[in-house]
Structure 1
Amino acid sequence: MTAITPSDTLVYPSADGKPVAETFDHLYAILTILEVLRQYSQGQRATVLANQFLYYAQGFPKLRVAPDVMVIFDVEPGGRDNYKIWQEGQVPKVIFEITSASTRQEDTGHKQVLYEQLEVEEYWLFDPKGDWIDGQLLGYRLQEGRYLRIADQCSQALNLRLQVEEVEGLGIAQKKELISRLIVLLEHLLKRLYVKSPDDYNGWERTIRTQRGELEILLDAVPSLKTRWDASFDKAWQIALKNTCKEYPQTNFPPEWPYSRSLEAMLDRDFWLEL
């Protein structure tokens, strides 16, 4: 798109106060796709952005759109507060919109036409709830200035075959790992706090440190899992308490976790020093 004469006094906002996504499923899809593509693009001269303003007309700050996820090649890696095509010199190569029945008209109308005009090579729609897309995933590729439907779910721009099962499978595996590591952490915290066995304290504390480190690595790699922390904690606590009570039937364990369950506390505080 041809740039329009700018004004140095113009402000290009980076936020509009609107929610990122309409449901948790949509938010989780955005964050999962963002993280998967960020990891995939590591080592490349590329950036992956989510829900950030894409400005496409220099001098006109109101002409903007906020794709759910966009991948841009041949630019410096890393985040931006917003993305201005005329400054970066590159149009997004691939855009993902997380769609629903309520956004279908905009996603297949205004946005599709705009991305086509901007010459975004591929446009993908993911329908996490299956509101209107059979198979949940629908892709378009630009050919001779027009979007044509992608039949094989292969992204030529990314050199990837996109499958809903893979995205869901990745999410399930990550959620299972989060709960599994929380179970081990909570079991050993319970033992260190309530079981009178000084000879075992060092071993239990080593396990606590190990699980905390692994949890930090997991959450750094997949920040979207932080949105699952409370629900995962509830499930992990039930299992950890049950397991520990069976292992030490003579010990009285509390029915509820008596300390802070916040992410920061669980990964840092040595609760047994507070007794």
Structure 2
Amino acid sequence: MTATVPVATESEIFYPSADGEPVAETYDHLYALLTTLEVLKPYLAGRQATVLVNQFLYYAQGFPKLRVAPDVMVIFDVTPGGRDNYKIWEEGQVPAVIFEMTSFGTKDNDQIFKKTLYEQLGVKEYWLFDPKGEWLEQPLRGYRLRGETYEPIADNHSEPLQLRLVVEGRLIGFYREDTGEKLLIPDELTAALRQEVVARQQAEARAEQAQLQVEQLKEKLRSLGVDPDTLT
């Protein structure tokens, strides 16, 4: 008599959302990762897109051990907002752009395993950023899918994002292709808002001073017997 081996249904398969590992290696890697998230989120607001950070990307239904955790991934044509993890077969979309904040300790995994995997999955662009300059000659290296193969990106231009990427210290700077405007990081945004408030306060003070001078002139005219309200 042949024994029947029970097969787990999809609803019985557990896909973890965490493994207890740290989110990034160093402060520089974590800062670059979180800053990239905070810059891209408002840029993509209002679109059918989401940005996820260090969350499991499951790419084979029924095999919860086949997963990877990209540092930052941008997915288009999906419902905006966060997820505990991302399953390609449920969402119906492969990430369009992936960023890995690489280091000497992760270079083989980033440059060989992940690059090959993302290439096979059809991720349109794969970017490696080495914030501490540990192994990449140029801190930022991008690959774009041509057919089924990645080719180096020479101009640091992201086609899916329509952004130009620039290394700025230990961060990636993002600039709009249509206007050249920089997408401000949180610190820069705070400084810009503070400058805007100061400029508005200064403008209000100048307007008040001008009005005071007008009232003083009117009062002087009245002392001379001239009604300023009748003057044209």
Query: TM-score with structure 1 length normalisation?
Result: 0.60
Q: Is 2:71 the counterpart of 1:97?
A: no
**Cα-to-partner distance string for 1:21-79 (whole Å, 9 max, x where unaligned):** 01000000000001111111011100000000000000000000000000000000000
What is the match of residue 80 of structure 2?
77
Q: Give the counterpart of 2:145 among 142, 146, 153.
A: 142
Is contact 1:6-1:58 (8 Å) kept?
A: no
Give the Å deviation of 1:177.
4.0
Partner-residue secondary structure (3-state), 1:70 = strand
Larger Rg: 2
- C-alpha change, 1:125 and 1:168, in structure 2 (3 Å) is closer
Give the superposition deviation at 1:168.
Answer: 5.8
Identity %: 63
SS of residue paired to 1:130: coil
> Could you tell me how far apart the structure 2 residues matched to 1:75 and 1:172 are?
25
1:147 and 1:53 map into 2 onto residues whose CA distance is 23
Q: What amino acid sits opposite 2:134 in the alignment?
A: D
Instruction: Quote how far apart the aligned CAs of 1:7 are.
Output: 2.9
> What is the letter of the counterpart of residue 59 of structure 2?
Y
Hey, what's the Cα distance between the residues in 2 that align with 1:8 and 1:101? Answer: 39
Shift of 1:6: 5.6
Alignment: residue pair count: 176
- The answer to whether structure 1 residue 12 and structure 2 residue 3 are counterparts is no
**Is it true that 1:28 corresponds to 2:31 in the alignment?**
yes
**Runs of at least 4 residues of structure 1 off by over 6 A?**
none
Which stretches in structure 2 are left out of the alignment for 5+ residues? 1-7, 174-183, 196-232
TM-score normalised by structure 2 residue count: 0.71
Structure 1: tracts of 5 or more residues without a match:
182-275
What corresponds to 1:255 in structure 2?
A: none
Quote the residue 2:115 is aligned against: 112
Inter-CA distance 168–114: structure 2 relative to 1 (3 Å threshold): closer
Following superposition, the deviation at residue 134 of structure 1 comes to 2.5
State the match for 1:122 in structure 2: 125
User: Larger deviation: 62-71 or 157-166?
Assistant: 157-166
Tell me which protein shows more helix as a share of its residues: 1
User: 2: distance between equivalents of 1:51 and 1:79?
Assistant: 12
Measure, in 2, the Cα distance between the counterparts of 1:161 and 1:135.
16
2:66 is aligned with 1:63? yes
Structure 2: how far apart are the matches of 1:12 and 1:72? 20
**Alignment-derived partner of residue 5 in structure 2:** none
User: Pairwise CA RMSD of aligned residues?
Assistant: 2.3
Measured in 1, the distance between the counterparts of 2:137 and 2:40 equals 23
Structure holding more strand per residue: 2
Q: The residue matched to 2:150 in structure 1 has which SS?
A: strand
Where does residue 57 of structure 2 map in the other structure? 54
* Equivalent residue letter for 2:39: V
Q: Cα offset for 1:135? A: 2.9
